[in-house]
Chains A and B, each alone.
Chain A
Amino acid sequence: MNVARPLSGAAAIAGIGATEFSKNSGRSELRLACEAVLAAVADAGLKPSDVDGLVTFTADTNSEIHVARSTGIGELTFFSRVGYGGGAACGTLQQAAMAVATGAAEVVVCYRAFNERSGERYGLGQAERPMDTSADRAAYAWMTPYGLNTPAQWVAMFARRYMHEYGATSEDFGRVAVVDRRHAAVNPAAWFYGRPITLEEHQASRWIAEPLHLLDCCQETDGGQALVVVSAERARDLPHPPAVVRAAAQGSGADQHMMTSYYRPSISGIPEMGLVGRQLYRQSGLGPDDVDAAILYDHFTPLVLPQLEELGFCGTGEAKDFIADGHLELGGRLPFNTHGGQLGEAYLHGMNGVAEAVRLVRGTSVNQPDDVRNVIVTAGTGVPTSGLLLGADG
């Protein structure tokens, strides 16, 4: 263990498992969670009784005790939740890695499962949600009476300002969707398998919230995804090459709101993601030049651009050129969302992206680039968020 950076290299992701990704699973969210957890544990070459820690999202309806009891996981010495919607994704892995690094638990499963398409759809917005007097609910008082209700609308406000400041266009956002869908088109697990799109189709798709077209918005999905974290040392004895957690971090920026941090001096960046990125590089001792592939949260295309800037892959305002130059493609400088992203594969609140990063380190992605050693993964944008740097062992 590196004493100066005790988290880096201490833990590894040894197993991944998921349900199919659908629009109507036809079964309970708890069942989806159990299926994903058992698949991940089996992939790690372990038994449910080996698991002693569980981590999920505060947004998840499947409490740890129900998952543990149902799957034959016995005693738990560590259980934890991470808040802020999709911002939690990499944060669950950070919780697991810290638990393993400190000895609080030995085998921790992170999971997320929901019927987000056939059940409660986030895309429909907050206008009709139940009232209470909490600060979280009161925050919506500044938006919903004006009809600013949905995630697409919240993101569109940032996107418009970003376009104004840096001269980015809808086509620059569209190129992100085209890459996602190209990668999804060859991924049999992806909802949009076999269905790539062109930039012209993106431009012709209907408006959702200008400047966002339909094809700037990710789909909604039913499904579950789980990942198993153990010590890096133990992972070496398990069936798959370890995806070592080189760094894991959370970040909440100054003057942070949920999806509507419109009151900062500038709203064209994502300072909470910059905060995550600086921690990832400091913990790992790596820099942007050491990163071989990126899984960037893509619930909406526009916020991929400032992520590239905040994480140091290009200068501020230059992401549109970085993307137009083809750097996100296979064979480019930074192959991106090789599973198809949330636009193309599935919207699993970022957890399917973490699983793809594991496959990239294992060398088993359907869009495997050559020589991947380090992969960066990000969680939800516009919210308090998190990130991971996963690397090959040795």
Chain B
Amino acid sequence: MSAAYEDRLRAFVGREIHPLRPGQDPVNVPMIRHWVEAMEDDNPIYLDEEAARATGRDGVVAPASMAQAWVMRGYAATAAAKGGGGPADELTDLLAEGGYTSVVATDSEFEFHRELVPGDHVAAREVVESISPEKATALGAGRFITSLRTYHDQDGEIVAVQRWRILRFRPKPKPQKPREPEERPEGTAAERPEERAPRPQPAINRDNAFWFEAARERRLLIQRCAACRTLRHPPGPCCPECGSFEWDTVRASGDAHVYSFVVNHHPRHPAFDYPLIVAVVELAEGTRLITNLVGVTPEEVEIDMPVVLDWVDAGPESSLPVFRPVAQEGQ
């Protein structure tokens, strides 16, 4: 990717791609009714005045997550699928120029400031917060576009804030391997790469955060006791050898060998290709690590086989160490 292209992308960061624009209709009971019926949400505060007042409200309220619905452009405009040539379309076109022609939404985080009631009229604007460098993902190489949407009422007060993240990516060709009869029927997410789910995310806490933060920068660390220098993994707050709470880290060389491995077939998680090889490798430094083996078929894996560190992007803010066979001389 050229430096000029990067600059053109970077110019969108901080830019307003949707100016403040009111929704087509004010907040109204018929749309609320359609929504809660479709969602099978039977909370009475959305439709029953008396029940809403019994909860201390002045009357019925709109479901909080309808915020986005009030500003959608509607069926006719969507069916016409015609860009208006605004900055949002310019960004889409620029990404398509880079080959990122497919899109999948990855995150939507809402903060709700107040409940909307019939008669409110919602308007929204959207500003680009960040555009990631190209990341290798299970769907294909792509960039994560994060934007901030603010929802205002008729008085200009903010009623909700939404952090919205999409992945624009270059679709990978589908793998051409034969499917086993035990696999899920066609049409599940696992079979449609464009809907590939992110890997299960690690639970981060104060004892393990350093490791995952380093992994994001593609550095494989091993925790080391600062007192007796014993290495340990998985990390913990205290040295089992000497009891010291002081620790630092060393960076792993990346050399390892397979200690044991499994080949997963069932159940399937939509983030992975199956059969999936999971291994316990023993690092040259002596600690062991659960990981995936890549660049090798299940039939080729053997215990004690030498492997070397590689990386996969496991989500917008996560890289994970994996291992591949050491390249053989002359191959």
Contact = CB atoms under 8 A, between A and B. Distances in A.
B266 interface: yes
A209 B290 contact: no
A206 B182 contact: yes
B182 A148 contact: no
B280 interface: yes
Contacts of B182: 206-207
A324 interface: no
B208 interface: yes
A210 interface: yes
A23 interface: no
Contact of A209 (B233, B262, B303): B262
Nearest to B199: A145
Nearest to B288: A263
Interface in A321-345: none
A164 interface: yes
By size class, the interface of chain B is 35 or more
B265 interface: yes
Nearest to B264: A209
Contact of B260 (A125, A141, A145, A160): A160
A301 interface: no
A158 B200 contact: no
A305 to B, nearest CB: 15
A147 B280 contact: no
Given A147-B276, A210-B298, A263-B234, A160 B202 contact: no
A158 B260 contact: yes
Contacts of B233: 263
Contacts of B202: 138, 140-142, 144-145
Contact of B314 (A124, A133, A145, A160): A145
Interface in A154-206: 156-158, 160-161, 164, 206
Interface stretch (B151-159, B247-255, B267-275): B267-275
Contacts of B206: 133
A351 B182 CA distance: 32
A153 B269 CA distance: 13
B259 interface: yes
A260 B26 CA distance: 55
A70 B53 CA distance: 36
B201 interface: yes
A128 B268 CA distance: 12
A84 to B, nearest CB: 18
B287 interface: yes
A65 interface: no
B70 interface: no
Contacts of B110: none
B203 interface: yes
A209 B260 CA distance: 13
A47 to B, nearest CB: 44
Contacts of B289: 142
B105 interface: no
A260 B205 CA distance: 19
Contacts of A156: 262
A161 B279 CA distance: 11
Interface in B202-220: 202-208, 212
B262 A135 contact: no
Contacts of B275: 207, 210
Contacts of B240: 255
A156 B277 CA distance: 12
A250 to B, nearest CB: 21
A234 interface: no
A147 B267 contact: no
Nearest to B272: A147
A260 B278 CA distance: 13
A86 to B, nearest CB: 20
Contacts of A128: 200
Given A128-B200, A141-B202, A157-B262, A263 B287 contact: yes
A104 to B, nearest CB: 34
A71 interface: no
Contacts of A125: 267, 269
B200 A142 contact: no
A141 B292 contact: no
A141 B203 contact: yes
A141 B233 CA distance: 12
A47 B262 CA distance: 51
6 contacts: A124-B267, A145-B314, A146-B291, A157-B280, A262-B259, A263-B233
Given A138-B204, A146-B290, A263-B233, 8 more contacts: A126-B200, A131-B201, A145-B201, A148-B264, A156-B262, A255-B240, A262-B280, A267-B260
